[in-house]
Amino acid sequence: MTTKRIFLLSLLAFCLFGVSRMDVFANEDEEKTQRSSLPNDNQMVVAEPVDLGLSVLWASWNVGANTPEGDGNYYAWGEIEPKNYYDWNNYSLCKGKVNTCEDLDEISGTQYDVAHVKWGGKWRMPTRAEVKELCNRCNTTWTVKNGRLGVKLWRKIKGKVVSIFLPASGFYIKGELRDLGNGKGPLKFGAYWSGTQRNLRGGYAFALEFKARLEYPERAGWNDKSRYEGLPIRPVMDR
């Protein structure tokens, strides 16, 4: 075989190999671009902590939101992903009925706590005791913030008013957003999960709740709700 022929064959082999390598790199780059463009639920905007002079710091907005007036995501109690439909049948922590739920007692700071899982650090769901402290030691004022009706929970500390705003976001049952209103005006009901299960009733957990109707006190309080219902989460942080 002549030197010229050997050179031509070597050049051809190099070109073929080089093209195949370029295709591989192109495919890898395309895959990386596609992956980076996929939404990542873990890349949430974490709120700033607000010091109300209480035992914990409260977040300035909900999990899944990026402003104080944003609803954020709705979660069944103990689940860490939002859904389009909220029912006992698709609630992951029971077997389709209220009396078949796992007895978890307190999920704040655990793998069942969406604030702890998604925001990380010291963030977690508030306990029932921390919800009661917020409601009992703060003033409640119904107000509108950037077009959203909700409550301002506030205290005066050293002559300065410090507050958080909770939008009246309603709650989900099945695929429907529920509220106390008639559907023609702004939402008038807010409910936010705590991490505390109700004793001896495994299918229920405590929530921070407020209602803007005359037959209810127009201040924030606490109540229990069925664990499968979709509620927003307002996290807290330990000092």
| pLDDT at residue 99, rounded to an integer | 87
For residue 123, name the pLDDT band (cuts at 50, 70, 90): very high
pLDDT digits (tens, 9 = 90+) for 39-59: 345 468 999 999 999 999 999
- Note the pLDDT tens digit of each residue in 10-24: 444 444 434 333 332
Residue 35 has pLDDT above 60, yes or no: no
* pTM assigned to the model: 0.79
Percent above pLDDT 90 for the chain: 65
> Does residue 8 register a pLDDT over 50?
no
3-state secondary structure the chain: CCHHHHHHHHHHHHHHHHHHHHHHHHHHHHHHHHHHHCCCCCCCCCCCEECCCCCEEEECCCCCCCCCCCCCCCECCCCCCCCCCECHHHCCCCCCCHHHCCCCCECCCCCCCHHHHHHCCCEECCCHHHHHHHHHHCEEEEEEECCEEEEEEEEEECCEEEEEEEECCEEEEECEEECCCCCCCCCCEEEEEEEEECCCCCCEEEEEEEECCCCCCCCCEEEEEECCCEECCCCEEEC
Greatest mean pLDDT among 3-7, 171-175, 216-220 lies in 171-175
- pLDDT score, position 77: 98
Rounded CA-CA distance 204/218 in Å is: 23
Q: Is the pLDDT of residue 94 over 90?
A: yes
Tell me the pLDDT tens digit for each residue of 174-226. 999 998 655 455 678 899 999 999 976 689 999 999 887 544 555 677 789 99
Mean pLDDT of 144-171: 94
Is 74:225 a contact under the CB 8 Å cutoff? no
Which range is least confidently modeled, 128-137, 210-219, 227-236?
210-219
Q: Rounded to whole angstroms, how far apart are CA atoms 128 and 114?
A: 16
Q: Are 192 and 232 in contact (CB under 8 A)?
A: yes
Does the pLDDT at position 31 exceed 70? no
Q: Is the pLDDT of residue 106 over 80?
A: yes
Residue 74 confidence (pLDDT) above 90: yes
Nearest Cα neighbor of 220 from 108, 132, 128, 144 is: 132
Least confident of 119-123, 207-211, 231-235: 207-211
